[in-house]
Amino acid sequence: MPDSSSVPPETVAVRPAPTPQQLALKRQYPTAFDLRERARRRLPNFAFEYADGGAGADNGIKRNWNALDAVEMVPRYGRVVSPPSADTTIFGKPYAAPIGIAPIGGPGTAFPGAETYLAHAAQAVKVPYTLGLLSGIDIERAAEIAPDVLWLQLYRFSKNDHKIGLDLVRRAQEAGVNVLVLTVDTPTRTTRPREVKSGIMNPFKLTMRLRLDAMRSPHWMRSLGRNGIPRFTSLAPYMEPGIDLAKASAFIRRESGGAFTWDEIKLYRDKWDGPLVLKGVMHPDDAERAVESGLDGIFVTNHGGRQIDALPAPIDVLPEIATRVGGKCTVLYDSGLRSGVDAARAVALGAEAAFAGKSFLWSLGALGDRGPAHLIDVYIDDICATMGQLGCRNIEELRGVITRHPGAYTVADFTSAQ
């Protein structure tokens, strides 16, 4: 633990006292899993399966959760820690906590209007919101809603010398996006059995089965009525006008795919004037290569167990990666986050911040537009309580907490596997 005398005094804006409505929500849905159970009951089956399902038999998801649960943190006592502050700085910008919203493609399938609600909630509280490229609001609209906290995720659109990809970079720059994220961990398309069994097709098609399923959920239908059928709005300028959802989905399948190569990453590095992050790094050598390629940050993640369920849990590879590149780039974490305790674990093991995907969709499925703000609140309260319990007054001190981490990969594990 760092010497407490070197830590500056608390400088954090006090969070406003909770309203009676917020308190009532906290009593009813104190955890992300409470929201998950309500979402399961309130959403159409396909929407919940899209939001919640993983690759294979969901073993990657379970591994992510179990690996987080196995990380222990040792408290220190003897000084006043109340109230701890979760304020932090990422890429030079202040945020209310080291907790962010991970990019989610097609979130309107899980809950129509999801992007708008997530962007508003993140901007209000000042936590990072990463707009997935395949979203129902475009980059420009997202930047209007969430100017201080907007990050943008891109997939690889490589045709015609990355014409679409680089135009998206230009638009992101003009719109004032704060951080650009290149996703690298989807080199091939994989299937999620729960999604397939629920009737979702790729390319997407609004079949009679999905319509009937949707009609069983007044909650989802009300939001559809307010927000309209989800579309891939950021990509609309590159498609024929008025194209339907099935054709738009086929267009994306045709135009995108594969993982960015190191040469391509340099191309984006040259064009993007701002923090650039590579999402999907799971090996320390790739982390080093990312630093050499001029990236400012990496996301240690296994895509929340959605791509393949044979990957290690990212929390288990995080410390080794952070040791190798922590001083040279910003290490971010996602996969399996269900609480502020999980976020604290990731920070204690070397991440600057921890992001969540599925749980934000659960929050929308459970509570609609009120969901994301409630979940952010739950996460921030929880990380503050965790810090207090551990004897940390601020995030800097949390980084120095002693951990026990039985699943941690070592350098030898990585090299012997080669």
Ligand X SMILES: Cc1cc2nc3c(=O)[nH]c(=O)nc-3n(C[C@H](O)[C@H](O)[C@H](O)COP(=O)(O)O)c2cc1C
Please name the residue that has the structure tokens 């992050």. 277
64 or 339, CB closer to ligand X? 64
With CB atoms as reference, the residue minimizing the distance to ligand X is 357
- Residue 11: CB minimum distance to ligand X, A: 30
Q: What distance in Å separates the CA atoms of residue 113 and residue 368, rounded to the nearest whole number?
A: 9
Cα 172 to Cα 166: distance, rounded to the nearest angstrom: 10
Sequence-ordered list of residues with C-beta below 8 angstroms from that of 404, at least 6 positions apart, any chain: 71, 72, 74
Tokens of 150: 């907007």
Q: Residue 281 or 392: which CB sits closer to ligand X?
A: 281
For residues 308 and 400, the answer to whether their CB atoms sit within 8 Å is no
Q: Report in angstroms how near the CB of residue 130 gets to ligand X at its nearest.
A: 7
Catalytic annotation, pick one of 283, 303, 374, 405: 303
Strands 150-154 and 129-131: parallel
Task: Name the minimum Å distance from CB 103 to ligand X.
Answer: 4
Closer Cβ to ligand X, 322 or 364, answer by number: 364
Q: From residue 115, how far is each of 47, 150, 273, 390 by CA, in Å?
A: 15, 11, 25, 35
**300 phi and psi angles, rounded to 5 deg:** -85, 115
Nearer to ligand X, 320 or 334 (CB): 334
Residue 155 or residue 409: which is nearer to ligand X going by CB?
155
- Least separation in angstroms between CB 170 and ligand X: 20
CB of 21 to ligand X, least distance (A): 26
Interacting residue ranges for ligand X, rule: CB under 6 A: 50-51, 64, 102-105, 132, 134, 153, 183, 279, 301, 303-304, 306, 334-337, 356-359
Q: Considering the complex, what minimum distance in angstroms separates the CB of residue 66 from ligand X? A: 13
Q: Is 303 a catalytic residue?
A: yes
Report the residue number, 1 or 259, with the smaller CB distance to ligand X. 259
Residues 6+ apart with CB under 8 A from 122: 100, 101, 128, 129, 146, 149, 372, 376
The residue length of the chain stands at 418
- Residues annotated catalytic, as ranges: 303
